[in-house]
Amino acid sequence: MLYRRNLLLEQERFCPMCSSQAEETVLHLFFACNFARRCWSILNIDWPNGNSIEDLILQYMRTTALPSFLEICTIAMWELWKIRNRKVFDNEYASVRRWIHRFKDEAFLQSIRFKESTRITFVSWLNSL
């Protein structure tokens, strides 16, 4: 959107997380970017093709048995967004190792609000990563 409003230079419209020279869109950043795909693969999530975030999540929800899947998606995308911003604004090196560490920390904190039975399963899943 910033590019369309002429607030970005031509070279700033491309994804800062991968070397594909793909335009940085929401779908690219969170699902198609090579960096994002490596992060999702650690969670054993391989996204199908889709035209919107809603389509992707609904398609995957039909086939997954992951505990608290929507929470996992939300936290994963939030951590992808934060690591992207650290790279763009603070020139911080983006690593998958750093992303998974931050994902696990945030997911554990969020799990405190789960029902105890759900939390046990969720934390067990987190520890298996």
Q: What is the pLDDT of residues 21-60, one digit of tens each?
A: 888 889 999 999 999 999 999 999 988 877 888 888 888 8
Containing structural domain, residue 87: 22-127
For residues 42 and 39, give the distance between their C-alpha atoms in angstroms, rounded to a whole number.
Answer: 5
In a domain, 37, yes or no: yes
In a domain, 17, yes or no: no
Q: What is the pLDDT of residues 74-104, one digit of tens each?
A: 999 999 999 999 998 899 999 999 999 999 9
User: Is residue 9 very low, low, confident or very high in pLDDT (cuts 50, 70, 90)?
Assistant: low
For residues 99 and 87, give the distance between their C-alpha atoms in angstroms, rounded to a whole number.
Answer: 12
Find the distance separating the first CA and the last CA of the chain, reported in whole Å: 35
In a domain, 50, yes or no: yes
In a domain, 9, yes or no: no
User: Is residue 116 very low, low, confident or very high in pLDDT (cuts 50, 70, 90)?
Assistant: very high
Calculate the alpha carbon distances from 41 to 21, 46, 113, 118 in Å.
22, 6, 26, 23
pTM exceeding 0.85: yes
In a domain, 15, yes or no: no
Instruction: Provide the domain count of the chain.
Output: 1
In a domain, 102, yes or no: yes
In a domain, 115, yes or no: yes
In a domain, 113, yes or no: yes
